[in-house]
Amino acid sequence: MEVYIHANILAGPDLNLVEDGTLIVENGTIVAIEEESKEHGIDLQGGLVIPAFVDAHTHIADTGAKELGVGLLVEDAVLPPNGLKHRYLQQLTEEKLIETIRQGLKEMLKSGIAAFGDFREGGLDGIRALRTASQGLPITPVILGRPMADYKAGYELTRKELEAVVEEADGFGISSIGAFGLDVFHQIRELTTGNKVFAIHISESPRDHELSLQKFGETEVKRAFAFEPDLMVHLTHATASDIAEVKNRGQRIATCPRTNLLLGDGIPPLHEFYAAEIPISIGSDNMMFSSPDLFREMDTASRAARGLTKNPQAMDSRYLLKSATLSGAQALKLDRLMGSIEPGKQAAFLVLGKNRDSLAYSHDLVSSVVHRCGPSDISHFVCGGRTVIENYKFMLDL
């Protein structure tokens, strides 16, 4: 049993502050949160305990291609089958692919990420590469595979391959609504039952949005409702009507502000999602363009929303912290295991040092987490019951 004392804990789904409390962990599971600090235990010295991050949308295999596509349109940089990233990935050996993924996992763990949802290109081999790279690590990958027809030219899609992908992966992560016809999307929906996740990129670039309106007379978001994906990713150009229907349907969504900005795609309507009380999850997206740092992702989202609306109340810090924790876990169907600090959930939490510059003299700790903190402020990181960071030192040998 591990007993953490003198902890300021953002506890439960609403991140309620328990001051100078005790967090008790047994066999990798949180068993109690007590409002008084015990006499003996691991002294967190007043550190702020927050849920570990859940990165809702990533492309981790692109770790070896950092900055390769900066300056290109999203279609030229990442669209299959001939985008720059695909040409890069297809020339990698299996050994090199696993090596670069392992580096990406190391960067995630150093940034306090306990789980992530990865759009895994490369068919069955791509799925297996990520499984191999993550073996022995406390991080939880939600591997969203795709058939080879959505990765490389010249492949004929079969029902048998779809079944094989969903059997080996944790669901599907499809490149775009233009990848397949409606009949295929209905097959994918049929195959993703239970804890499997059906996710898809939607309305990422302004050109995607305009083409859908011109060709179909509907937005990509509206068209996607026809096959009911579990998770829509990006929605950079979601309209007011789209947002209303997302709200009515309880549709899970993930936004990726930093990569959208770098690619010149725009910025998701973050204030509108917040105003409509739609929980968003947040993703660092493509490792070509953005580090897996959800501190920076939250900060960017907050400042962009306020700047675009010219309204300093356009965004809420607690909403954004939930987007990087509980909402991400919900989007990936992991919320029974993690995403909040509660008895019965995995011990997956970060401790931000009380005496770090980022928290010193703070009048709003959650705002400081969103707008000031970074990976260097993590004094402890417990993930999957294992200590990943202790006294600011990364403890894993990778």
My answer on whether 43 and 94 are in the same domain is: no
pLDDT above 70 as % of the chain: 100
pLDDT of residue 348: 98
**Tokens for 306?**
């306020």
My answer on whether 36 and 112 are in the same domain is: no
Q: Examine the pLDDT at 151 and tell me if it is beyond 90.
A: no
pLDDT of residue 38: 87
Q: What is the mean pLDDT of the chain?
A: 96
CB-CB neighbours of 195 under 10 Å: 12
Region 331-358 average pLDDT:
97
Sequence-distant (≥ 6) Cβ neighbours of residue 180 within 8 angstroms: 149, 150, 157, 174, 188
Alpha carbon distance 227, 237 (integer Å): 20
**Tokens for 42?**
């691991």
224: amino acid identity, one letter: A
pLDDT above 90 as % of the chain: 91
Tens of pLDDT, residues 67-120: 998 999 988 988 888 889 888 888 999 999 999 999 999 999 999 999 999 999
pLDDT of residue 214: 98
**385 or 381: which carries more pLDDT confidence?**
381
pLDDT of residue 89: 87
**Surface-to-core class of residue 245, CB atoms within 10 Å of its CB (0-12 exposed, 13-18 middle, 19+ buried):** middle
pLDDT of residue 175: 96
pLDDT of residue 254: 98
Alpha carbon distance 345, 328 (integer Å): 15
Tens of pLDDT, residues 198-247: 999 999 999 999 999 999 999 999 999 999 999 999 999 999 999 999 99
My answer on whether 90 and 152 are in the same domain is: yes
Pairing of strands 113-120, 386-390: unpaired
Asked whether 341 and 51 are in contact (CB, 8 A), the reply is: yes
Domain boundary among 309, 331, 353: 331
pLDDT of residue 305: 98
My answer on whether 82 and 42 are in the same domain is: no
Helix (H) or strand (E) holding 286: strand 285-286
Asked whether 165 and 127 are in contact (CB, 8 A), the reply is: yes
| Of 265, 358, 270, the residue nearest 307 (C-alpha) | 270
The count of domains in the chain is: 2
Alpha carbon distance 313, 84 (integer Å): 40
Region 123-140 average pLDDT:
96
Sequence-distant (≥ 6) Cβ neighbours of residue 278 within 8 angstroms: 243, 246, 247, 253
Alpha carbon distance 325, 115 (integer Å): 10
Asked whether 197 and 230 are in contact (CB, 8 A), the reply is: yes
My answer on whether 102 and 163 are in the same domain is: yes
My answer on whether 292 and 361 are in the same domain is: no
My answer on whether 352 and 234 are in the same domain is: no
Tens of pLDDT, residues 270-284: 999 999 999 999 999
My answer on whether 31 and 123 are in the same domain is: no
Sequence-distant (≥ 6) Cβ neighbours of residue 127 within 8 angstroms: 120, 143, 145, 165, 168, 169
Domain boundary among 307, 331, 355: 331
pTM of structure: 0.97
Confidence of residue 178 (pLDDT cuts 50, 70, 90): very high
CATH classification of the domain holding 375: 2.30.40.10
Q: Examine the pLDDT at 385 and tell me if it is beyond 90.
A: no
Tens of pLDDT, residues 35-51: 988 889 999 999 999 99
Asked whether 110 and 390 are in contact (CB, 8 A), the reply is: no
Alpha carbon distance 91, 150 (integer Å): 17
**Tokens for 117?**
């949802």
pLDDT of residue 44: 96
Q: Examine the pLDDT at 152 and tell me if it is beyond 90.
A: no
**Tokens for 118?**
């990865």
My answer on whether 26 and 148 are in the same domain is: no
pLDDT of residue 237: 98
CATH classification of the domain holding 316: 3.20.20.140
pLDDT of residue 39: 85
pLDDT of residue 154: 84
Host domain of residue 242 = 53-331
Any alpha helices (H) in 68-122, and if so which ranges? 74-78, 84-90, 94-110
Pairing of strands 16-26, 29-34: antiparallel
What distances in angstroms separate CA 18 from CA 201, 279, 338, one per listed residue? 38, 24, 19
CB-CB neighbours of 161 under 10 Å: 16
Confidence of residue 349 (pLDDT cuts 50, 70, 90): very high
Q: Examine the pLDDT at 398 and tell me if it is beyond 90.
A: no
Tell the residue number behind the tokens 């011109």, with chain if given: 214
pLDDT of residue 27: 94
Asked whether 249 and 223 are in contact (CB, 8 A), the reply is: no
My answer on whether 233 and 365 are in the same domain is: no
Domain boundary among 311, 331, 351: 331
Q: Examine the pLDDT at 350 and tell me if it is beyond 90.
A: yes
CB-CB neighbours of 165 under 10 Å: 25
My answer on whether 18 and 136 are in the same domain is: no
Tens of pLDDT, residues 240-268: 999 999 999 999 999 999 999 999 999 99
pLDDT of residue 197: 98
Angle of CA points 109, 164, 134, to nearest 5°: 15
My answer on whether 91 and 230 are in the same domain is: yes
